[in-house]
Structure formats: structure tokens, C-alpha cells
Structure 1
Amino acid sequence: MALILVIDDETDACRLMERILSADGHRVFGFTEVEAAMRWLDDNVPDLAILDIKLQSTDGISLLKAMRLRDPFMKVIMIVGTSSVEAANLAIGQGIDAYLVKPLELDELEQRVASALALEQAR
């Protein structure tokens, strides 16, 4: 299955995504700190990254841009809050593959991940 990177500064949300996607057979590495995730990216190339748009040390758009410098074709799902429609549109403009709205619906998470990975395999 796929190698998935999850970055969300909310520990519970990060662990939930790790647990659900691991149960689906994926290898999932979750980080609550951007710096640790970027160090992990020095040695790993995920099939998919799931990023929260609001992080403590930076915003998800800036992180997305930094990650795209490493891999311009990285598949990305952005997580936004219910009041972040503008942010979701900005993220779409940056070429994300999908977005999810918090609170997360687990079925929707699994569906979006499957769709993004199908695009990756088609590439």
C-alpha cells in the first residue's frame, strides 16, 4: 500500500488519521511538528501528504510550497476548518488534490485518500 505523511498540530486528529489509514493497510507517519516532518522528508518520499492548513509554527500553504520544492508532483490533501473556505480555495490554487473539512468524517477521509492515490498510480 501507500506511504502517507500526516502533519496536524492537533495530536488527537493526527493519531486518528494514523490509526484509520494504517488499518486500511497504508504505512502512515504522523507529525505534530513541522520541523520533525521536514526532517523525515529528507529521507522519505511519501505517496501522499495530508496537511492541516493551520499549524502552530507555520501555515499549511507555506508548508505546501516548501514541500513542492522537494517534489512538485506530490499528492496532497489539505485539511481546513469549517470557516476556512477562502483558505481551501487558496490551497486549490496551489494544486492540492483534495481537501477535507474539520471535524473529519472518517469515510470521507478514506475516500479522498483512495482517490488521490488512484491519481498517483495513474501518473
Structure 2
Amino acid sequence: MKRIMIFDDDVDILEILTYLLKEKGWEVHTRTTCNNIIKVVSENNPDIILMDNWIPDTGGIKATQTLKNHPEFARVPVIYFSANNDIEKLAAEAGSDAFLAKPFDLDELERIINQF
């Protein structure tokens, strides 16, 4: 079973995505902050990560950069997602592998996830 980790401070989004992705056969792990991100990711060993831009405490850019600069997690795909108008620019600054603008539909999310 493929494992996905979602970092988002919006509990409603986490609940919806957890339900939808579990229906698609994913094992889903969620966090509302980026505290101890290396430790949290290493404990869950995800195949892919969804990272919100506006997540406490370090923010999505710094959290993604931390993961991408870590030898163990540099190859784990990170999909940056946000309602911010500059999502493409923010995703590039973060060093993510892809981006997804909020609001998004499930088909678009599934298409991006399946790329990896």
C-alpha cells in the first residue's frame, strides 16, 4: 500500500483528503504543523508528501527545503499546495516536485499524485 503524508493546518482539508485518499487505497498520515519534520517523516516513511504553504511553524517553503536537503528524503516527491496566487513561484522557491492550487478537484489531485 502506498503511503502519503499531508501537512496542512486546515483540519477540514485533512479530514476530506484522508477520506478520499483512503478510498483510493492510500495509507494516509497527517500533521497540522511542521514541527520536527525530519523525525515525523522518518517515522511515517511516505512515498509522497502534500505540503501546504501556510503551515505552522516553519512554513511550507522552509519545511520542503529541509526535506529536499536531507539525504534520506530528497527523492520523496513533494507536492506543494496552497490557495496563494503565487503558488507556482512559491513551489519553485520551496524546491517541490509539483504544485496544486487550492481549491482543487480530486481528479486533478489524483493525476498529479499518479505522476510520481
Gap runs ≥5 in structure 2:
none
Secondary structure, in 3 states, of the residue corresponding to 1:34?
coil
The aligned runs of 1:87-106 (5 Å cut-off) are 87-106=87-106
Shift of 1:93: 4.8
Q: Using the alignment, how far apart are the partners of 1:5 and 1:37 within structure 2?
A: 11
Shift of 1:109: 1.0
RMSD: 1.9
Contact 1:31 1:37 in 2 (8 A): no
Instruction: Report runs of 4+ in structure 1 exceeding 6 Å deviation.
Output: none
Q: Using the alignment, how far apart are the partners of 1:7 and 1:76 within structure 2?
A: 10
Q: Pick from 55, 73, 92: which aligns with 1:71?
A: 73
Q: TM-score, normalised by structure 1?
A: 0.80
Gap runs ≥5 in structure 1:
117-123
- Give me the identity figure in percent: 27
Contact 1:80 1:88 in 2 (8 A): no
Contact 2:79 2:96 in 1 (8 A): yes
- Which AA in structure 2 matches 1:3? R
Q: Using the alignment, how far apart are the partners of 1:4 and 1:107 within structure 2?
A: 16
Gap change, CA 1:94 and 1:34, over 3 Å in 2: closer
Q: Using the alignment, how far apart are the partners of 1:42 and 1:82 within structure 2?
A: 28
Q: Using the alignment, how far apart are the partners of 1:40 and 1:82 within structure 2?
A: 26
Q: TM-score, normalised by structure 2?
A: 0.85
Compare the two structures and name the one with the higher helix fraction: 1
